[in-house]
Structure 1
Amino acid sequence: MATLKITDLHVDVETETGPKNILKGVNLTINSGEVHAIMGPNGSGKSTLAYTLAGHPKYTVTSGTVTLDGEDLLAMTVDQRARAGLFLAMQYPVEIPGVSVANFLRAARTAVDGKAPKLRTWIKEVDAALERQDLDDDFADRSVNEGFSGGEKKRHEMAQLELLHPKFAVLDETDSGLDIDALKVVSTGVNHYLEDKTRGVMLITHYTRILRYIHATQVHVFVDGRVAATGGPELGEQLEAEGYEKYVEAAKANA
């Protein structure tokens, strides 16, 4: 069993007026075979958590620990974190003009595995992953994310998830901007990834609609830089009906 463990994590972000404290003591443990949904209002620190785990230089860890299978994740460089088994699907994937999807995927797999995949089997893997995401045959020849629709960007991320086979996937608002058809396709990609029970997912979202297609083991309410409440899938439905107000007010009262 693989484990991603976050303990009392405090993180600052650099602003024009100096460091600002965003994460204020996050505690969270995700085991393989689990899906943890992180829900909360805008500005609560959800994306900060995702980018901190991935090693974005804009975010500074001031205290706390993060381990992946007992190894210190925070001591690793970004590429070392990827090779250790961490994957981030970004909310806003960036364009890479001049780099084809095919070359990008093969370079990423080579970097993660430490060796290039065998071309014959690799082409079949790529074709299957793209087909599973309803992406056209010529998609692999296009420049990464250049001119992609929002749905194409998110489906490309899911193809990466399948082909790079990480231990843990951090999905930062993967459902953002998707229509219902694209949402179903993306969810199918996540569920296909989860068929291997040695893998786990942190799913950051505002809405419960994606949780209708991806079963959450636990739902966490994220407010003011920390986990304010934890429950089962029913907590997500409660948030859909009642919103975050009571958690936001409680955080203000405890500030």
Structure 2
Amino acid sequence: MLEITNLHATVADKPILKGLTLTVPAGEIHAIMGPNGAGKSTLSYVLGGRPGYEVTGGSVTFNGIDLLDLEPHERAAAGLFLGFQYPVEIPGVSNVQFLREALNAQRTARGEEPLSGGDFLKLAKAKAALLKLDMDMLKRQVNVGFSGGEKKRAEMVQMGILDPKFAVLDETDSGLDIDALKVVGEGINTIMRSPDKAVLLITHYQRLLDYVKPDKVHVLAGGRIVQGGGPELALRLESEGYDAVMAPESANA
């Protein structure tokens, strides 16, 4: 579903991604872990098309199309969803208004009929209940006055409503307490674990992977994928640290 080949990218003329190659097939959830400054968030922003992140080499295909050739809104309409490490506040715009406009814009781009107000509210209530988010929260301004956990749950509701084919989730576990972590993890499984969908889950910690079991775990360091394995790799990273696991003798074990 997602094929990244020898990807190079710079931010403010500083090379960050330095030949990253990664494949995420449909039906799978892949986790990326790595030390600070490795390029994890840069990868998510490059895939989402954030301005200021310049691709200087390599390719990215998504369902057979050139992802890098699309504008950010075209990537979203094609089925790509980006979950932010720090969801932004949008004063003056309610979640309901924002989500209905976003969904109908994507439906229009795909040649589908927009949802009526009534149909949208039914959908929003169902997705909010899934994430244990009070519907009143969706009537408030986007993320304004929300706690860290509320922002992440609201973002997962957004993902449920938009129903993407591929989700890039950048440190979704950041700011979550134990209860919220479980709710968000279950939400990711319910929304995205499907034979025709896939997830790239970027995280610092193994704890989210207790709830969202990855098919593969990749280690990103120095702008490249340097090691990969199954879920047990995340447990090793948690117990031994990056330096120990990425040592030459460990990599060859």
Q: Shorter-normalised TM-score: what interval? A: over 0.9
> How far 1:226 sits from its partner (Å)?
0.5
TM-score in terms of structure 1 length? 0.93
**Would you say the 8 A contact 2:9–2:57 is kept in 1?**
yes
What is the total number of aligned residue pairs between the two structures?
244
Percent of aligned positions that are identical: 54
Which residue of the partner structure matches residue 253 of structure 1?
none
Aligned partner letter, 1:166? P
Question: Structure 2 length normalisation: TM-score?
Answer: 0.94
Match of 1:220 in 2: 218
After superposition, what is the alpha-carbon deviation per residue over 1:108-157, rounded to whole angstroms, capped at 9, x for unaligned?
A: 10111114213332211100111111112311210001111000100011
CA 1:195/1:229 → structure 2, altered by over 3 Å: closer, same or farther? closer
Alignment partner, residue 124 of structure 1: 122
Runs of 4+ with >3 A deviation: 246-250
Judge conservation of contact 1:106–1:116 (CA < 8 Å) in 2.
no
Aligned residue in 1 for 2:152: 154
- Match for 2:8 among 7, 10, 22? 10
Q: Is the 8 A contact 1:4 1:31 kept in 2?
A: yes
Q: Match for residue 43 of structure 2?
A: 49
Residue segments in structure 1 that go unaligned for 5+ positions in a row: 251-255
8 Å Cα contact 2:220/2:226 also seen in 1:
yes
Query: Are positions 1:198 and 2:196 aligned together?
Result: yes
Contact 1:8/1:25, CA 8 A, preserved across alignment: yes
Q: What SS class does the counterpart of residue 122 from structure 2 fall into?
A: helix
- Asked if the contact 2:29–2:193 (Cα under 8 Å) also holds between the matched residues in 1, the reply is no
Post-superposition shift, 1:197?
2.0
- TM-fit CA distance, 1:245: 0.9
- CA-based RMSD: 1.2
Shift of 1:193: 1.1
Of the three residues 191, 194, 208, the one matched with 1:210 is 208
CA distance in 1, matches of 2:141, 2:79: 26
Task: Decide whether the 8 Å contact of 1:175 with 1:210 is kept in 2.
Answer: yes
Q: Distance in 2 between matches of 1:40 and 1:175?
A: 15
| Structure 2: distance between partners of 1:249 and 1:22 | 22
Q: Give ranges in structure 2 of 5+ residues lacking alignment.
A: 249-253
Counterpart-to-counterpart distance in 2, 1:122 and 1:165: 13
From 174, 199, 214, the counterpart of 2:172: 174
- Does residue 84 (structure 1) correspond to residue 78 (structure 2)? The answer is yes
For residues 157-216 of structure 1, what are the alpha-carbon distances to aligned partners after superposition, in whole Å with 9 as ceiling and x for unaligned? Answer: 100111101110000000011100000110111011124321100000011111000010
Distance 2:221 2:77 in 1: 31
2:28/2:193 contact within 8 Å kept: no
Give the equivalent residue in structure 2 for 1:40.
34
What secondary structure sits across from 1:8 in the alignment? strand
Q: Where does residue 137 of structure 1 map in the other structure?
A: 135
Matched residue SS, 2:91: strand
Aligned residue for 1:171, secondary structure, equals strand
The 5 A counterparts of 1:44-123 are 44-114=38-108, 115-123=113-121
SS of the equivalent of 1:152 reads: helix
What is the alpha-carbon distance in structure 2 between the residues aligned to residue 161 and residue 186 of structure 1? 11
Q: Which residue pairs with 2:251 in the alignment?
A: none
